[in-house]
Amino acid sequence: MDKKVKVIPCSGIGKVFGLMAREAVLKTVIELCPETSETVCLAHIVTGDTEAKAKIEGLDCITVDGCPKMCASKNVSAAGGILIEEIKVLDTVKEHKGKKFGSPTMLDADGEDVISEIAMKIKERIT
């Protein structure tokens, strides 16, 4: 059985918070926890394909969402993933009032700092 924790962002495309979710997850799986975590295409899960479901069904998952609609969390849950943590980008963003995080296309320096914090939270939950 695949022991790697699945870390899945919403990758929302309309606001910077979706990019922050995506980048925090990529930082986790590429830089911080490459041996113990991996990501899965949320779009594939949305299709409802059996093959996509099999990637997460019954497995530990952490979702990272950029807005209160909680798309990653809802889709992963619906596909049978076991949610061991639902991270909300806005919870961390609230602690950084007044800062500019970048655009939905590219993060600024402050955005990078915040996603590093979120990535550390993900790492703590994995290890």
Partner 1 sequence: MSELKVGVLSCSGEECLGGTISRLATRQVLEELKMVTTVTLCLPLYLAGGQEERNFAKVFPTISVDGCDKLCAKRSTEKYSGKITGFIDVSKIIGKENALNTKIVRNKDLTDEHLQMVDDVASEIVKMISQMSPDSYEGKSFRGCSCGSE
Q: Is 32 exposed, middle or buried (0-12, 13-18, 19+ CB in 10 A)?
A: middle
Binding range to partner 1, per CB under 8 A, among 26-34, 80-88, 90-98 = 26-34
Report 75-114 residues binding partner 1 (CB under 8 A): 75, 78, 104-107, 112
Structure tokens at 65: 């969402």
DSSP 28: I
Closer residue to partner 1 (CB): 22 or 88: 22
Q: Is 101 exposed, middle or buried (0-12, 13-18, 19+ CB in 10 A)?
A: buried
In the complex, the smallest distance separating the C-beta of residue 97 from partner 1, rounded to whole angstroms, is 24
Structure tokens at 92: 């961390």
Closer residue to partner 1 (CB): 49 or 91: 49
CA distance 50 to 118: 31
Total number of residues binding partner 1 (CB under 8 A)? 39
Q: Tell me if 70 contacts partner 1 by CB under 8 A.
A: yes
- Contact residues toward partner 1 (CB under 8 A) are 8-14, 18-19, 22-23, 25-27, 29-30, 39-49, 69-72, 74-75, 78, 104-107, 112
